[in-house]
Structure formats: C-alpha cells, structure tokens
C-alpha cells in the first residue's frame, strides 16, 4: 500500500495530540501532556483507494521545537493546527506555513489548516472567516474541528490524502 507521512504542527496546547489520537483510536483526554514527538500509523480508504497514513505528532512547546526542520523535510502533508480561542496560534500557524514553503522550496505543498476546539464557542476569539482568509492566503484546505466531540476530525485526514494525490 502507498504510505503517506502527515505531520501535525502548531502552537503548544492547541490540540494536535488530541486530534491525532481521536483519529487514530477515538481517544480524547482532558489532561494536557506536552508532546516531544510521537508517531502513529493507520490504514484508511479514501475514494476507494487504500493507503497507510503515518502521522507524526510534534511538539508545540518552545523547548521542543528544535526538530521542526527535519520534520518538515520528512512530511508529505501538513496539518497546521490553531485554537479558535487564540489569535496568536493562528498567526503562528501562518508563520509555520511560510517556514514549510521555504524548507520545501515551493508553495505547492499539501496543507490543511485546522481551527480546533470548535466545541468552545463561548471562548471563541478567532472567527471562522479569519481562519478561511489565512487558509486562502497559504493555499490550504480548511476545517474547524473539535477533538473532543470528533467534529470534522476524520475529514481533515481524508482531505490530506486528497491533497497529496492532487500535488
């Protein structure tokens, strides 16, 4: 089966790990345990074609982001996660996109921008429109998700596979 490497990137605490585990095995935890680096594999079928997704869950906390250059080089597709509770995390996602373009030396990179924690509507600081605007600017896909309820989580990874095939 073809194998694709999906790299989860974004600020600390935005929900990269919970989105990953929700997709991989359905798990969600309220506890925050900062990641250094973890990887997971899952077989999936998209548009009647099976493949294996190798998902690399990376660190958002400053002290661990030294690995980022290598992680970007190794990725076929990138999920850029921010929290709808923080404008700063959207700015950071946009900055990471620029770093991906530099590192890959092209703008033709499969990226899905994800505004997570959509279940926390009362604490929203970033409108869906602002997220979409950034996605348009970087030429990426866009979803708002909740790792807690599972809203749109599967769709993010399906979109990754479609984008990988498109590029």
**Footprint of ligand GTP (CB under 6 A):** 10, 12-18, 29-32, 34-35, 59-61, 116-117, 119-120, 146-148
What is the closest distance, in whole angstroms, from the C-beta atom of residue 128 to ligand GTP in the complex?
15
As a whole number of angstroms, the distance between CA 7 and CA 4 comes to 10
Q: Which does 14 bind (CB under 5 to 8 A by kind): Mg ion, ligand GTP, none?
A: ligand GTP
Structure tokens at 149: 């309820």
Q: Which is nearer to ligand GTP, 148 or 163 (CB)?
A: 148
11 touches Mg ion by CB under 5 A: no
Residues 33-52 touching Mg ion, rule: CB under 5 A, are: 35
Q: Which is nearer to Mg ion, 20 or 159 (CB)?
A: 20
20 touches Mg ion by CB under 5 A: no
Q: Which of 4, 6, 17, 145 binds Mg ion (CB under 5 A)?
A: 17
What is the closest distance, in whole angstroms, from the C-beta atom of residue 147 to ligand GTP in the complex?
4
What are the angstrom distances between the C-alpha of 92 and each of 15, 60, 83? 14, 10, 11
DSSP 139: T
Residue 47: count other Cβ atoms within 10 Å of its Cβ: 8
As a whole number of angstroms, the distance between CA 63 and CA 4 comes to 28
As a whole number of angstroms, the distance between CA 90 and CA 10 comes to 9
Q: Which is nearer to ligand GTP, 47 or 62 (CB)?
A: 62
Burial of 78 from C-beta contacts in 10 A (0-12 / 13-18 / 19+)? buried
What residue ranges bind Mg ion (CB under 5 A)?
A: 16-17, 35
């Amino acid at each position: 089966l073809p194998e694709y490497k999906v790299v989860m990137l974004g600020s600390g605490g935005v929900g990269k790990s919970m989105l990953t585990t929700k997709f991989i095995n359905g798990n969600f935890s309220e506890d925050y345990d900062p990641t250094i680096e973890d990887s997971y594999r899952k077989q999936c079928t998209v548009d009647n074609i099976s493949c294996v997704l190798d998902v690399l869950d990376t660190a958002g906390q400053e002290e661990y982001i030294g690995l980022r250059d290598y992680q970007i080089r190794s990725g076929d597709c990138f999920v850029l996660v921010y929290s709808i509770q923080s404008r700063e995390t959207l700015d950071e996602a946009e900055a990471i996109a620029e770093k991906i373009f530099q590192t890959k030396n092209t703008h033709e990179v499969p990226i899905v921008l994800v505004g997570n924690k959509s279940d926390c509507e009362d604490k929203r600081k970033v409108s869906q429109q602002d997220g979409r605007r950034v996605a348009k600017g970087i030429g990426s896909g866009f979803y708002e998700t909740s790792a807690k309820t599972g809203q749109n989580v599967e769709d993010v990874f399906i979109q990754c596979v479609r984008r990988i095939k498109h590029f």
